[in-house]
Structure 1
């Protein structure tokens, strides 16, 4: 059985390629720029741009299963090409944001929601992986840490249950290689609820940095990130943090169900990535 992994330059996709290869599963790594991939010896790569249907047929040739990123622009064409190629199963990297009542119009959830809708309407067996906040989202604070500035937090007490991308990759490995797990939706979380302020504290402890945080207004934070975060996304993030301010995030246990072991803690992630946060 051959698995196509789209987005193989990403943290989840690259880890998944290595896991599939390690366990002896045939895998093909796909990327818009396959020449830039750093792959295990013997893993073939192919050009596949989810925004360019002209790349689909060659990427999917001989493929049985697909690990798919949630790009909605040409998902109908991708599914048609997948069916033509004989694909039987797609595991989608979605988002827990689709569980919100306004998922169809929410700027953060909309793309994932649209792809989920297309997949579930198709005849292909579909498995939906719905992680919450990635542990790697903390990289957004790394520049503040390295420069000795406090981290700006509009909602310091907003609670999330950050999940290590390595756990998402292992969950994907499980659903791609065990037919008993396929055809379901899984809400993936880390093992504990942490506030944004607590995450900053754990990163400071791991990196040996004296970094702290400061509370800022919505407007100030949005202005600061405007060069690289679209306004609609920034507003969506602010609304999410406001809704979870002072609350405990859900911890589902679905990650452990798929991987067969405890989910990695944010403290462990911080220790493993501390160099990125040191001055």
Structure 2
């Protein structure tokens, strides 16, 4: 998204945990996330994935410091207001906090990120099967560049103020199909091996960044998606004027 904004000749302040290793374009001003400098900022792009412990005084500082608009990377999970949906509840709470500030806002609600499949890269390159539950579950993974293009439009124009567009890729795929597509892009054999939900849950909880509520929500989403039709959102094309990128395009970009 930084590139999208710079191409529009907009001044960008990009926040990162480590500016020395961020590899951001030199035209962007780079600052540390923990410092959160907001002086001179008029629009803020907010990724709540880094705010599981809460936003602190960020929104108050933004409003008092002259920020006019917040574009939030929310989630399609926010469509589910079940408190047991940990991912949806987290994003909805932040959406409501932003609404309460009186600032202009846009909430982008993508479904599965294609870039999640980068977690399989080492396994595929090692010639091992990608293992996961619910092999027949289907989703429409979205390329991160499409999310960035929509986010840039929300930051730079007024057309999405007050909107909550649900974003998706252009096609429904299972994880076995995604693995096969990655293998074709990488020029190596790749296969998927189904495991039980119980084993998947245990392996997911062993990862340091996973929480029990998130793991259970992710598994429920996969279970509910088995053999179900997937609604393909037209919003990427409607907003950007061009079709959403396919998963094969994403795989060619990354493998």
Q: TM-score, normalised by structure 2?
A: 0.93
Which segments of 5 or more consecutive residues in structure 2 lack a partner in the other structure? none
Provide the C-alpha distance between the structure 2 equivalents of 1:271 and 1:120, rounded to a whole number of angstroms.
Answer: 38
The offset of 1:48, in angstroms, is 2.7
Aligned mate of 1:69, from 47, 65, 69: 47
Q: Pick closer, same or farther for the CA change 1:72–1:138 going to 2, 3 Å.
A: closer
Matched, 1:100 2:85: no
Provide the C-alpha distance between the structure 1 equivalents of 2:77 and 2:180, rounded to a whole number of angstroms.
Answer: 26
Provide the C-alpha distance between the structure 1 equivalents of 2:191 and 2:52, rounded to a whole number of angstroms.
Answer: 39
The ranges of structure 1 where at least 4 consecutive aligned residues each deviate by more than 3 angstroms after the TM superposition are none
Provide the C-alpha distance between the structure 2 equivalents of 1:216 and 1:115, rounded to a whole number of angstroms.
Answer: 34
Q: How does 1:20-169 map to 2 (within 5 A)?
A: 20-49=5-34, 55-56=35-36, 59-70=37-48, 71=51, 73-75=53-55, 77-102=57-82, 104-169=83-148
Provide the C-alpha distance between the structure 1 equivalents of 2:122 and 2:202, rounded to a whole number of angstroms.
Answer: 17
Query: Is the 1:75–1:118 Cα contact (8 Å) retained in structure 2?
Result: no
Q: Deviations over 1:56-112 (max 9, x none)?
A: 4xx11111100011125343511110111111100001110110131x431222321
Query: Is the 1:72–1:115 Cα contact (8 Å) retained in structure 2?
Result: no
Aligned mate of 1:207, from 169, 186, 193: 186
Q: How many residues align?
A: 251
The offset of 1:126, in angstroms, is 0.7
Provide the C-alpha distance between the structure 2 equivalents of 1:252 and 1:186, rounded to a whole number of angstroms.
Answer: 9
Aligned mate of 2:245, from 245, 256, 264: 264
The offset of 1:45, in angstroms, is 1.5
Query: Is the 2:85–2:213 Cα contact (8 Å) retained in structure 1?
Result: no
Q: Secondary structure at the match of 1:26?
A: coil
Identify the residue that residue 235 of structure 1 maps to in structure 2.
216
Query: Is the 2:175–2:192 Cα contact (8 Å) retained in structure 1?
Result: no
RMSD: 1.6
Query: Is the 1:153–1:215 Cα contact (8 Å) retained in structure 2?
Result: yes
Identify the residue that residue 224 of structure 1 maps to in structure 2.
203
